[in-house]
Every structure is written in C-alpha cells, then in structure tokens.
Structure 1
Amino acid sequence: MPHRNAPLTETGRLRLARCIVEDGWSIRRAAERFQVSHTTAARWARRYQELGVAGMADRSSRPRCSPARTVQRTERRICKLRVTHRLGPARIAARLGLSPSTVHRVLVRYGMPPLTHLDRASGSPVRRYERDRPGELVHIDVKKLGNIPDGGGHRVLGRAAGRRNRQATTTAQRNAHGNPRLGHGFLHTALDDHSRLAYTEILTDETKETAAAFLLRAQTWFAARNIVIERVLTDNGSCYRSRLWAETCTCLGITHKRTRPYRPQTNGKVERFHRTLADEWAYARPYTSEAERRAALDPWLHMYNHHRGHTALKGQPPISRVTNLPGQYI
C-alpha cells in the first residue's frame, strides 16, 4: 500500500503507463508530467505491456530466496524440542547454539502454539470452552490458606519476627508441646463459566456438611442475580462424592459433574480464579492479622465482579455478562 506522499497510486500508475504505451508519449516526457524518475516511468510502462491493468498492483517485497535462512534440519529440531520438551525460545536456543530471536521466528513460521496454550502433561493444544448463558455451568472448588498470626506472619516480617507473633497469638490452639496451631481458612468458591461471576466464602473446613451448606448459599446468591444454576463441576474430593452432596444437588435441581481424576485442568477456570485471589487479595499487602485479611475479601470480590476487567471478557467485568439483573431495564 503506498504511503500518503507517494506520487503514484495504482490509478496514477495506470494513467502513466497508458500515456506511454497507448498515447505514444516518450518516457522522459511522461516522467516529467507525473513527477517521477525516468526508471520509474519505464518500469510501470513495461509492467503494463506485460500484465495489463493487473500489473499496476503492489508486489510483495519478500525476496525470492533467503540464503541466510535457518536450514530445514535445524528448524525440525527446534519444532521437535518444543513439542516433546515444551521449551521456550531461550532454552531451545541454548541447546542448539542459536539466537533466541531465530528460534522464535522459526516457531512462528511453523505456527507452533505458545506454551501457555499447551497442556503440560501431553503437550497438546488446550481445548477451551465457554457455556452460552449464565448458570449453565458453575465451577466449584476449595483452596486452603494458612491463617495469619496477630502482628503479621513470616512472609512479611521474616522467620524470627513471624515466629514471635505466632507464639504471642492468643486465639491460637496449642499442641501437646505448647506450640500454637493457627489453623487454616478454607476458601469455597462457586464461579459461573459464562460470566466468570464469583462467590467465595472463608469456612472452617471442607467436610460434606460445610460443602453442602455452601452450595445452598451459593444457589441463593446467584438466584438474587437471576441466575439459575443448572449444573456444577467439581473435583473428586470426598465432600463432593458424599451422599449429602448428591442429595443437596437433587433437591436444588442441579446436575453434578466431576472432573477426571488427576486432571485439574478440567476445572481450570476456578483454579485460575484462586490464583488471582491469592495474588490480588491474600498476599497483595502485609496484613497484620487474619481478621484484617478476611475483612478485605468482600470489597475485593465486589471489585472483581463489578469493576475489574477480565481478559476472557475483552476487558469487561464479569457482571457485564449478566444481562438480566433485577431493575436493569427500569
């Protein structure tokens, strides 16, 4: 495509060529009239004689041959290392004695998918899916977090100060040797597949009674946003294989699906949400107590659902995909 100051567009080239070939103008006279060089005028006249109007189009500037291009055998070795060992350009370049930029160009030339789009176990491209409407599928999972001692833990203050705060925490239980047991918080999360809308609670355990009660509250929370849960997807944890869980799903009219054993990728949306939760809430700033961190969860969840742009939603927040909110069209 010609630049904005080009003296000749395709139409101008055609007029130039016709003046020379059909009207009998000299090349020098036509070059002066269209303000181009003598060689340029001769080139477009020659192309018009050989190809006609089609010869006025731009041609690719790619060379016919590239003597310095990486040999095909080396290109095949690069692709083999990517598929079999799932290595990046820098590590492949170190093995083969090449430049990382050369390896990257070869991978792009052969259409090799990025490492983030490959399944770690098999090396096959990840099959992504998304349900058509909110509530059609809800992912449920549990993440365990260690509680923070009063005054702050070792992640912020270091081992020595963290150990002193741990010993001084009055709410901690003690074992037989008098050492404190701060315990864990269990993050139960229900995340809608279509909208990525998330509901999370911090509970004391992951027993079947706790999981079943959480499902009831999650169903109520989604129903308040006019989302009817049709099916849920969980891993193979004992609480999700219990009779109580199955009875709760039946009473709510929810179909329960479980992932394949040792395949957490199937429930990857909620797994990825828990990673975001840890980065942006749980370990985002130095909390001085577990109570302070828990108090920050609800504001963060509101920000995630209503204000934080999601890359899978083209930069829009999850609530943007829930189009049937009460009072929305009043």
Structure 2
Amino acid sequence: MNITSKQIAELCGVTRGTVDRALNNRPGIHPETREKILRVAEELGYRPHFLAQSLVKGHTKTLGIVLFDIHNRIFSQLFHAFEAEARKRGYIVYLVLSHRDKELELEYINNLLDRRVDGIALLPANFNKKFESLLLRSRTPIVTFGNRLNGPFPYIWIDDKQAIQDSVSFLIQQGYRRLIYISPPLMRKGKENIHVPEQRYNGFIEACEATPDMRFDIIAQKNYLAELETLMDTTDSSSAILCSSDVYALEVLKWLNDRKIKVPEQIGLMGFDNIDVLKYINPAITTVDYNVNEIGTRLADLLINKINNQDIPSETLIAHHVVEGQSATAMR
C-alpha cells in the first residue's frame, strides 16, 4: 500500500501543506515539525507520486527513443551514447524497438505519449502524412535520425548519398571496375520508410554511371547470398562487393571464406557503418565511419534543447570518412 502525504499529515497532526514544505525542504515550517514529518515519512517508506508531481511541474524528465532493433551494433552504440548524454542532463530514457513494424511503431509512440515523455528521438518506419499529422498533434518535441520525414521535424544523421559515392570512388582508385552492391532493405521500398537505403542506392547508381566502363549489379533481396552465388561466375580480381551495412559485409565474408574464395586476392569487399566488432575481423574490412557515438550524444542534446524551447537546426549532418582495411585492396 502506498503511503500518501495526506496520511502523513494525519499522523503528524499537521496540514498537507506543512508536509509538502517539509518533504520539499521549503521554508515556513518549524525545525522540530520538519524533523518529525521526515522521520515519519522515512519509517513508513513514503515515496512521492512521481507522475502526479510531474504533471504539476509540466515535465517528467523522461525521454523516449524509437529504434528498429539492437541486433545491428550501430543502433546499440547509438543508444548507449544517447542514454549517457540524457542521464548526464538529468533525464531517464524509455527505449522501444519497432522492428520496422509500422503498426507497432504507432503503438509504442502512443504509449510514450501516454507516459508524458518530454520528447522523443525517432528512427521512423512510417512515412505518410497521417503519421506526421499524429506527431504534430501530440505537441511533443521530436527529433528524427536516420530516416527522414517530410514534416518540420529536426533531423540528424550523415550524408548517406555522398558517403556511398565516396565508397565507390575509393574502390575505383583501388582498380575495381565491376561492383556488386548488396542492400536487402531496398526490397521494402513503398512498404516502409527506407530513406537511408534509398540515399545510399542513389549515390551508388550516380557514381557508377558517371564512371566510364564501370559494370555493376544490384542485389536487393532478403536471400542476398543466393543471388550473389549466381553472379560469382562472372567475377574476377577487378570485382568488389560493396555492402550497404557492415552486418551484410560480415555475412558475405563468412560466405566467401566457406567457399575458399580469398579476400581481397580474388574479390574485394567493403562495408558501411564501421561497427565496433570489425576490430576482431581478419582481413580488416574497409568500411565507412561516421562516429555513431557523436550522433547519439548530439541527438540527445538537440532533443533536450528543443524541449527547453531553444532554437535547434533543422538538419545536422555528421562527418564521415572511408576507413581503409585489407579487404578492398586490388591485387595487381
């Protein structure tokens, strides 16, 4: 049974206002009375009703963050940085995972709103006007990351299109003239928000088409390894596989190793994200780094500043760069 301030007042023979002054260390109360109230409250295990107090104060000091999952290390790294910055600023974080399910995402957002979170960091799977209208009507500060929305929601991420173009340029400099691009999320086009995969795809196409004599193939399906196998008969040492995520690059590397196909001697391999587990992989995988810890930290900072009615930029882009490993060095 929860003990209320009203019960403490009755036991101490004082008003609830006097109990409130004692519990919140406010003036206007005799020291002996304050001591008595605090002693009784401690003996009874009194805890203030946090939500009720929050509603009175107008804020709950809580944030929500909506991620797809935490299987991909890029998301778990981002969350850790976000939570650390929020905690430093005095906020508690609710983490929910949408699993790219648009209905589940809506349900979780409504649950966060019901809990009166002060703001939400959102990696959206939804992308229609009805969804954006719901977010706007909530009047809750929202900052998006990764996938964009069309509405007036501040955004933080990287320039994905340029990052893939830089990846293609790097591979060209290494002497590769045939590229296989693996991006399974493209199969969800039209079904969910795939802004990041689309930007990376657009960057890849533009970079390849701007390069004379460049041959390329796109693999955009869940069973990407099966399709890769059908293309391997036409590859040689001037071919490289570029993956839209390190998660796929690691699977491809294992697949190649199982088939005794040497990287990079027989085919090059490049990933994207520079997830922390790459430091354990041999050969070291060439990838794109964009300091996901900085994204998580600045995401929390932007959201909290927006909650405090401070002006924040509509777009924040974090720098990226190619990290050269041994997996995409053409052997000549």
TM > 0.5 fold call: no
Q: With CA pairs under 8 Å and 6+ residues apart, which has the higher RCO, 1 or 2?
A: 2
Q: Which has the larger radius of gyration?
A: 1
